[in-house]
Structure 1
Amino acid sequence: MAKLEKVLNGNFNVLIKVIEDGILNGSMSASLEASSDFRSGDARCSVRVFERYSYAGGNRVSLNVTLFQAGDGDIQLSAITSGGSQAMFFKINTWGEEAFLDKLKEVLG
């Protein structure tokens, strides 16, 4: 598992679109598996779950991206990858997870 947490500025709608397009166009095997968007008062949250095939690991990995914003405040991003290990009882070969997270870092600039 690899994790990135970051505080961002800008337009929430633009940012989620940039993330979606960047991840989906950044890998031939990337797909958007599920999404969720909701509001409560002036707070909003968007969740995206992506998957792609990892050539390095020989398996599929997922990337879960959550954006949260209260009012006009900063946008909180949490991104967590999973699924890159091939071992039964402990994690080995997590290169695919790190590479997927690196793609998101590239998209965010």
Structure 2
Amino acid sequence: MLNGSASASYEDGSDYYGTDGLHCAVRVYERYSMMGGNRVSLNLTLVEDSGRIFVSGITSGGSQTVLFKINTLGEGAFLDCVAELLDGWQP
């Protein structure tokens, strides 16, 4: 995630190890969106349970209006980075 943007940074994360091989990892990244002129965050959650893996990527930020979102280009670009990583990944 950090190689996809010069302004990307790792903000924080946590790990949980349960019984029978359950592992949950949460990571939060942030970057500056040149298109939107603001910062965008990405929350990645990965859960491994009995060899099965679940991945969730959720972005936030990326809008400069008060009532609704009109500029989500930065959020979409951040999610595109996740999609590219997953496309090349083989379990």
Q: Structure 1 length as normaliser, TM-score?
A: 0.76
Aligned equivalents of 1:108 and 1:76: distance in 2? 11
| Equivalent position of 1:100 in the other structure | 78
Aligned equivalents of 2:49 and 2:84: distance in 1? 25
Residue identity opposite 1:82 in structure 2: S
Identity %, equivalent residues: 59
Gaps of 5+ in 2: none
What's the CA shift for 1:71? 2.3
Choose between structure 1 and 2 for higher RCO, CA contacts under 8 A separated by at least 6 residues: 1
Aligned residues: 86
Aligned equivalents of 1:26 and 1:97: distance in 2? 13
Which of 69, 75, 98 is equivalent to 2:48? 69
Report SS of the residue matched to 2:31. strand
| Equivalent position of 1:55 in the other structure | 34
Q: Which runs of 4+ in 1 moved over 4 A?
A: none
Report SS of the residue matched to 1:67. strand
Q: Structure 2 length as normaliser, TM-score?
A: 0.90
